[in-house]
């Protein structure tokens, strides 16, 4: 079974896409309960009046790394982007 990804948008950053995450990653990064991610994605409601979730249409691309390493990598890079202010240069 493929891992389901959800795109996350931040309304405080003018709807900027933060990234794509699994339910578990969204739980760790945003504090949303894993079983609620799909509910927010299907209703379009904002979590914490800020984050919008949408199902990702593509399958994650994974070639040579194990799934757990890929998830760790995705979580780490997303956390670094968030700590760095979204990864924008010159801001």
SS3 label, residue 13: helix
pLDDT tier for residue 46 given thresholds of 50, 70 and 90: very high
More confident residue, 67 or 39: 39
CB 6 within 8 A of CB 23: yes
Structure confidence at residue 83 (pLDDT): 81
21 C-beta neighbours (distance < 10 Å), count: 23
Where helices occur in the chain by DSSP H, the ranges are: 23-30, 37-43, 67-83
Residue-averaged pLDDT of the chain: 83
Closest CA to 22 of 75, 81, 85, 79: 75
Domain ranges of the chain: 6-83
Query: Which residue matches tokens 């994974």?
Result: 62
Structure confidence at residue 90 (pLDDT): 47
Structure confidence at residue 21 (pLDDT): 93
């Amino acid at each position: 079974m493929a891992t389901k990804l959800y795109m996350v948008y931040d309304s405080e950053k003018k709807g900027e896409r933060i990234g794509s995450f699994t339910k578990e990653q969204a739980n760790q990064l945003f504090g949303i309960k894993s079983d609620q991610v799909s509910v927010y994605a299907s209703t379009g409601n904002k979590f914490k009046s800020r984050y919008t979730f949408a199902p990702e249409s593509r399958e994650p691309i994974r070639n040579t790394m194990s799934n757990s390493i890929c998830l760790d990598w995705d979580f780490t890079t997303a956390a670094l982007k968030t700590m760095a202010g979204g990864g924008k240069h010159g801001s």
